[in-house]
Amino acid sequence: MSDEEKQTPSVEPSVEKAPTPSEKVPTARVEVMDDARTRALTEALQSSFKVVRVIMVILAVVFLGSGITRVENNKKAIHLQFGKYKEPALEPGLVWAWPNPIDKIVEIQTTSLSTNITSDVGYRTADNDEPQASMSFQPTYDGYTLSGDGNVLHIKAEMTFSLDETKGGAIKEYKFGFSDIDLFLKSILDNAVYHASASRSAIDAFTNPDELGDAIERRVEKTIRKNSKDLQLKINLTTPKVKVPEDVKPAFDAFLKVQQENEQKLATAKADAESTKLNALGQAKVIEGGGQTAANTLLTSVQAEAKAFSAQRSYYEENPLLFEQRLVAETMQRVLTNAVDVFYLSGRTPRIWLNRTPEKRKLKEGGAP
Amino acid sequence: MKKNHITLTIGAFLVIIFGFMLFTFQVRETEVAIKTRFGKAVLYDDLYVEGDTLPDGKAVGDVKTKADIGPGLHPRLPWPVHDVHIFDKRIQSSEWAFEQTGTRNSQPILITVFVTWRISEAELFNRRHSGDLAKADDLLQGQVRSAQNAVIGKYAFNELVSTNKDELKLDEIEEEMKTRVAEASKVNGIEIIMVGIKRLGIPESVTGAVFERMKAERQAEIQKIAAEGERQAMEIKAKADLEANKILAQARAEAIQISGEAEAQAAKYYEVFKQNPELANFLFQRKALEGLLKENSTLILDPNTPPFNLLTQPDATKAAKP
């Protein structure tokens, strides 16, 4: 028997009969075990019970209070009861649940997940982050990927992701669906890089990394859906880094230079073509305008002649010879006035009539007058 | 009496907690469990739901017998009657080292494959792997290696990498590998979700030759592009000239048409001249003469031409009078 057990029978009656603090029992009326030791023990036990009671209350409060969780603004929370997911996902704010092990609140950051997933199996070497110059590649050391035309390339792709907050299932799947979500995403990113590079030529991947990035992103999204319909992630893939092996870089640079020159040549040809077309359109307008002017002139002229004819006919019919002579004289006057030189022959001596306004001499280009 | 009440409450509380611990167990959302009675799995009746792998002759809603226990609080009897085994039911990703294999045309290639999988039947998984994920991973490695060698050996290199979409068989290759691995893993209580190629390489001895080929290809491409650029530029210019000529021809046709229409409109005025053709003829000739000798002309005239006849025949005008 332990000391405690031995003491218990003697202590309990005294506890039951122990006076309350308000009662003042005369010491003389206590007939059994009223010695100082017993009283001290009784008081000690009373104090202990009070302390235990207070501790229990505190523990109960702490226990219940530990169920309060503050869900931050950029997070959502999942409520698990006996380990089972309870719909719906909890919004930011103060939430309360029974403390562990009954309930559990798991917080998840939904926006701007800081995890950066990188695929560099086709880029880095075993020792360096950047590809190194080499006459040949050792597969287990050098990182590279194969392009659709059987060439080798270095491709590095990076992506971040965020959860679709509107889908409670997505949050649950993200948190509980995968043993290592980062490893899973890295594997499918590597797979997407391989698929994208294996289906296009090295020069396409090298000169158009944006398009390569789109193909990688599409593949990543497709593969995520294939693995889990509930995992709704918004993928943000940055433009992949594409490099050709150092040894073949000069050949690629020369190719790009020719390509640029070619583009320039085509741009010039297009500009010339546009100019030719615009000139032709301008000339066409001039031709059409000239035709219209000639037509107007003809009509106006014929109309005027017809009017003049009608006006002159009566004079002509009255004396045709005189009419003709008058008009001939008028015509000769105008013709001779405009003529530069007029020669008329009188007998054997030709006579000359010099025009009144000498012709202006044109200056030869660069010459003296 | 009051103190006994408190003691009893505490005691009862402790008994409840102890009872809970002894007669229940919790399975978390990430886990699946099985319960064994004296070492033998306890089976339950459940219904097939959407997403379950349905055996032959079974449909969604049919009764299935299963040992798997999902998340939540579940009853049990204390050991040694019941024993509970809990497993991770999340999707696992496994991948292994770069391994060499050969294509249909005996071309050596290096390949890394990854697999995503999860426990589909916990009881089977427990029996085969003693619930050990690492053991399962080891077994999978062998199955994947076997599948990859068998499948890659059926395809040519240009079906693994190609710019021709019809030629490229990547999805087909991955799907075939998955089917093979899934078939082998099913009996181990494992569901294969995806098998994907993570990396493909060629032996080191080949890469040097690839570099040389890449250089030669670029050189050939340079010549091709330069010639093609020249051709395109000439084509653009020729097209523009053609278009310009077409525009001008159309404009000329338009001008001729306008002129013709004007001639047709003018015809009605010509009717007037029929009233006195001699006068009309005289006027037309006079107009033509005036037009011809309009400017910068040199005239050589007979002295009898009016008005020069006045110089040689002063009486001509008088004589001309009646």
Segment B158-185, tens digit of pLDDT: 999 999 999 999 999 999 999 999 999 9
Cβ within 8 Å of B, A 149-188: 149-152, 172, 176-180, 183-184, 187-188
Same domain, yes or no: B63 and B132: no
Helix (H) or strand (E) holding B227, with range, is helix B204-270
Residue B271 lies in a domain: no
- Cβ of B93 within 8 Å of Cβ of A184? The answer is yes
Task: Report the pLDDT averaged over residues A183-212.
Answer: 94
- E-state strands within chain A: 68-71, 75-81, 84-90, 93-96, 103-109, 117-119, 145-146, 152-163, 233-237, 241-243, 341-346, 349-354
Residue B264, in any domain of the structure: no
Is B279 within a domain? no
Q: Is A11 in CB contact (< 8 Å) with chain B? A: no
Write down the ipTM of this complex: 0.72
The residue out of B54, B88, B122 marking a domain boundary is B88
Q: What is the mean pLDDT of each run of 10 residues along chain B (322 residues)?
A: 70 86 90 91 80 73 82 90 92 91 92 94 89 90 94 94 93 95 92 94 89 90 91 94 95 93 89 89 89 80 77 56 44
**B230-267 burial by CB neighbour count: b if 16+ within 10 A, else e?**
eeebeebbeebeeebeebbeebbeebeebbeebeeebe
With a CB cutoff of 8 Å and minimum separation 6, the contacts of B320 are A325
Question: A83 or A209, which is more confident?
Answer: A209
Asked if the structure places residue B31 within a domain, the reply is yes
The amino acid occupying position B168 is L
Q: Determine the distance in angstroms separating the CA of B224 from the nearest CA of chain A, rounded to an integer.
A: 10
Q: In B85-203, which ranges are continuous DSSP H helix? A: 122-129, 133-152, 170-186
Helix axes B122-129, B133-152, angle to 10 degrees: 90
| The predicted structure's pLDDT at residue A2 | 38
What contacts A90, CB < 8 A, 6 or more positions away?
A71, A76, A77, A78, A79, A105
Q: Which chain B residues have a beta carbon less than 8 Å from that of A184?
A: 91, 93, 116
Q: What is the mean pLDDT of residues A293-307?
A: 91
Asked which of B53, B88, B123 is the last residue of a domain, the reply is B88
Same domain, B136 and B189: yes
Query: Residue B74 sits in which domain range?
Result: 2-88
Write down the pTM of the prediction.
Answer: 0.68
- With vertex at residue B117, the alpha carbon angle to CA B112 and CA B123, rounded to the nearest 5 degrees, is 140
Does A86 contact B at CB distance below 8 Å? no
Out of A151, A277, A339, whose CB is closest to B299? A339
B241 within a domain of the structure (yes/no) = no
What are the residue boundaries of the structural domains of chain A, listed by start? 3-65, 68-109, 117-244, 247-289, 308-356
CB contact under 8 A, A299 and B265: yes
Is the domain of B138 the same as that of B173? yes
Query: Chain A, 101-140: which have a CB under 8 Å from a chain B CB?
Result: 101, 121-122, 135-140
Q: Determine the pLDDT at residue A7.
A: 41
| A332 contacts B290 by C-beta, under 8 angstroms | no
Min Cα separation B209/chain A (Å): 8
CA distance A313 to chain B (A): 7
pLDDT over 90 (residue A348): no
Token code pair at residue A237: 């893939």
The verdict on residue B20 lying in a domain is yes
What is the structure's pLDDT at A140?
Answer: 83
Structure confidence at residue A83 (pLDDT): 86
Instruction: Decide if pLDDT at A43 tops 90.
Output: no
Question: A144 with A153: CB under 8 angstroms?
Answer: yes
Q: Are residues B52 and B99 in the same domain?
A: no
Question: Does residue B141 share a domain with residue B99?
Answer: yes
Q: Which of B10, B25, B26, B29 to mutate to test the interface with A (most CBs of A within 10 A)?
A: B29
Q: pLDDT tens for residues B97-139?
A: 888 999 998 899 999 999 999 999 999 999 888 888 899 999 9
Q: Which of A15-19, A165-169, A306-310 has the lowest mean pLDDT?
A: A15-19
Residue A67 has pLDDT above 80, yes or no: yes
Residues B114, B80 share a domain:
no
The partner residue sitting opposite B244, judged by closest CB among A135, A259, A276, is: A276
Query: Hey, which residues does B24 pair with through a beta bridge?
Result: B75
Please report the pLDDT score of residue A365 as a whole number.
47
- Would B250 be classed as within a structural domain? no
Last residue of a domain, one of B63, B88, B113: B88
Interchain pair B193, A226: CB under 8 A: yes
pLDDT score for B312: 66
> Is B293's CB within 8 Å of A177's CB?
no
Q: Do B198 and A121 touch (CB under 8 A)?
A: yes
Q: Which of B101, B202, B252, B272 to probe by mutation at the A interface, max A CB count within 10 Å?
A: B272
Q: B162 and B187: one domain?
A: yes
Answer yes or no: do B162 and B191 share one domain: yes
Asked whether the beta carbons of residue A148 and residue B112 sit closer than 8 angstroms, the reply is no
pLDDT at A33: 53
Same domain, B124 and B154: yes
Task: Say if B196 falls within a structural domain.
Answer: yes
Q: What pLDDT score does A145 carry?
A: 92
The interaxial angle of helices A320-338 and B277-292, nearest 10 deg, is 10
Question: A81 pairs with which residues across the strands?
Answer: A84, A103
The rounded radius of gyration (Å) of the Cα atoms in chain B is 52
List, as one string, the DSSP characters of A120-148. -TTT--SS-SS----SS--TTTS--EE-T
Quote the mean pLDDT of chain A: 82
- Mean pLDDT, range A162-167, rounded to an integer: 74
Nearest CA to B72 out of B82, B86, B62, B92 is that of B86
Split into its structural domains, chain B has a count of 2
Is pLDDT of A5 > 80? no
- Check CB contact under 8 Å for A150 and B240: no
A117-244 topology per CATH: Tetrahydropterin Synthase; Chain A (3.30.479)
Say whether pLDDT at A349 is over 60: yes
pLDDT at position A366 over 90: no
Q: What is the pLDDT of residue A292?
A: 93
User: What is the average per-residue pLDDT within A229-254?
Assistant: 90
Q: Please, which contacts does A278-287 make with residues 24 or more away whose CB atoms are closer than 8 Å?
A: A279/B244, A280/B243, A280/B244, A280/B245, A280/B247, A280/B248, A281/B247, A283/B247, A283/B248, A283/B251, A284/B247, A284/B248, A284/B250, A284/B251, A285/B251, A287/B248, A287/B251, A287/B252, A287/B254, A287/B255
pLDDT above 90 for A276: yes
Predicted confidence at residue B290, as pLDDT, reads 86
